[in-house]
Amino acid sequence: MTGTPTSRERIVDISITPVAFADPPLLNAVGVHEPFAIRTIVEVITDSGTYGLGETYGDEAHQARLTLAAEALIGTDIFDINHARTRVDEALAKDSSAGGHGMSGMITDSSTLDRVFSPFEVALLDLQGKKLGLPVSELLGGRVRERVDFSGYLFYKWAGHPGHADDRWGEALDPAGIVRQAEKMVSEYGFRALKLKGGVFAPDQEAEAIEALATRFPEVPLRIDPNAAWTVETSNRVAERLASTLEYLEDPTPGITGMAEVRSSASMPLATNMCVVAFAQLPEAIAAGSIDIILSDHHFWGGLRRSSMLAGIAETFGMSLSMHSNSHLGISLAAMLHLAGSTQNIDFACDTHWPWKNPEDDVVAGAPFHFEGGSLEVPKAPGLGVELNRDRLAALHQRYLDCGIRNRDDTGYMQKLDPDYQALAPRW
């Protein structure tokens, strides 16, 4: 017996809207976050008048590629994701520009096609879910968990942007400051895992911060991520010092070979969102034995279905998965929840920058996310389960126009304040 065929639904319009939202002065291995983080909101509209949403980086070169892709996607059936990807691939063949990775120089090897196609794929899944009355998690094979655990993402930071009032988090420039920040994050969000963004101060000071966290939160799994700021020797030394303290060590040193060297002597698992960020890098990294854990990220792994494919590859080769994040808004968070909610081998609490933005700075309607015990529920409404608030979209777009930031540039911002600053990898 066959079912009733549904009518086809095709893309008639796509809008690409850059937005900006306030971001605190978070320090990392390449500098410091600028006063505003930039993102792009992708809205795909069909001939039935329905819209699907995606969210991605805001850098100018990336936006130009999104526009090329959007033009190529007009007329595509919302269920024809494979064909849509081919169209975007063909459209990008006309592009010879460089840059636009959205990562301030930290991660530049991701696949351009996967990075550009991702928000369209998410929007198509949102549309499919709306048409079928099913949440995206069910289009990805069904939920394996109803709630997704997140880690509290700790950053060294200044009290406020230079020349501006202190933000609500205050200063964290030493172990005591990091512990204070962790206490606030745990009390507000209930996180049951903590990650420290390192690569800012000398490795021993950062190791001391991890030890202070371990003393204050003895039951909480801890991670540190210096974004490849350490040499192999330094990484080995810190790994030995923190052998009994870390759940995993994230990107201590640059490159597939360097990571393999550290992994051969470190006792804890090694994770990456830097040396393996594209399918093409997997064979070499697996052969070299560089990593135990891949931090997946649908924004650069080609969307949600390709991230599910990555999960299958990780399972096949005995690697675990966790999830990477950058400064993001609610559309990205919803997509992350559907992915993590339907991926069996997400074995660790996922990263999110969510606490670092003001709650009212978003483009989604209402306040759909409620942390309990550091976890969020996977949305159950059709599609992504979030709707656009057009007033807020317009306001954040206006802020983008006003703020003058056109590419994420943590190093350039730091150099305005400290002209001698250099982003070095490795630095120690």
Kindly list the catalytic residues.
197, 324
Cβ contact 93:259 at 8 Å? no
Q: Residues 313-352 vs ligand GKR: string with x where CB under 6 A?
A: -----------xxxx-------------------------
Residue 22, H or E segment: strand 11-22
Q: Report, in Å, the least distance between residue 204 CB and ligand GKR.
A: 21
Sheet arrangement for strand 36-46: 11-22, 36-46, 51-57
Interface map 180-219 toward Mg ion (x if CB under 5 A):
----------------------------------------
CA distance linking residue 369 with residue 349, whole number of Å: 16
Residues in the chain: 428
Q: How far apart are CA 60 and CA 406, in angstroms?
A: 6
Q: How far is the CB of 152 from ligand GKR (least distance, A)?
A: 13
- The radius of gyration of the chain's CA atoms, rounded to the nearest angstrom, is 21
Alpha carbons 375 and 148: distance in angstroms, whole number: 5
Decide whether 177 or 252 has the Cβ nearer to Mg ion: 252
Binding mask 360-399 toward Mg ion (x if CB under 5 A, else -) reads: ----------------------------------------
Minimum separation from the CB atom of position 325 to ligand GKR (A): 6
**Count, residues near ligand GKR per rule CB under 6 A:** 12
What span, in angstroms and rounded, lies between the C-alpha atoms of 370 and 373?
Answer: 10
| Complex with Mg ion: residue 128 or 327, whichever CB lies closer | 327
Answer for which of 114, 225, 297, 361 binds Mg ion (CB under 5 A) is: 225
Scan residues 8-37 and list those touching ligand GKR (CB under 6 A).
Answer: 26, 28
Contact call for residue 149 and ligand GKR (CB under 6 A): no
User: How many Cα atoms sit within 13 Å of 136 on the Cβ side?
Assistant: 32
For ligand GKR, the closer CB: 73 or 295: 295
For residue 240, what are the contacts with CB-CB under 8 A and spacing of at least 6? 266, 267
Residue 106: contacted member of ligand GKR, Mg ion, none (CB under 5 to 8 Å, by partner type)? ligand GKR
Q: Does 299 bind ligand GKR (CB under 6 A)?
A: no
- C-alpha angle 91/92/97, rounded to 5°? 135
Amino acid residing at 307? S
CA 47 to chain centre: 31
Instruction: State the minimum distance, in angstroms, from the CB of residue 11 to ligand GKR.
Output: 31
Scanning 282-329, the segments in alpha helix (DSSP H) are 282-288, 304-316
Residue 58, phi then psi, degrees to nearest 5: -110, 0
Examine residue 225 and tell whether it contacts ligand GKR (CB under 6 A): yes
**Judged by CB under 6 A, does residue 103 bind ligand GKR?**
yes
Choose the contact partner of 128 out of Mg ion, ligand GKR, none; CB within 5 to 8 A by kind: none
Residue 214 is a binding residue for ligand GKR (CB under 6 A): no
Structure tokens at 225: 């991520």
CA distances for 70 relative to 37, 42, 43, angstroms: 23, 9, 10
Q: Is residue 273 a contact point for Mg ion (CB under 5 A)?
A: yes
From candidates 106, 179, 210, 277, binder to ligand GKR by CB under 6 A? 106
Closest CB to Mg ion among residues 52, 269: 269
Interface residues toward Mg ion, by CB under 5 A: 225, 250, 273
Interface residues toward ligand GKR, by CB under 6 A: 26, 28, 103, 106, 197, 225, 227, 273, 324-327
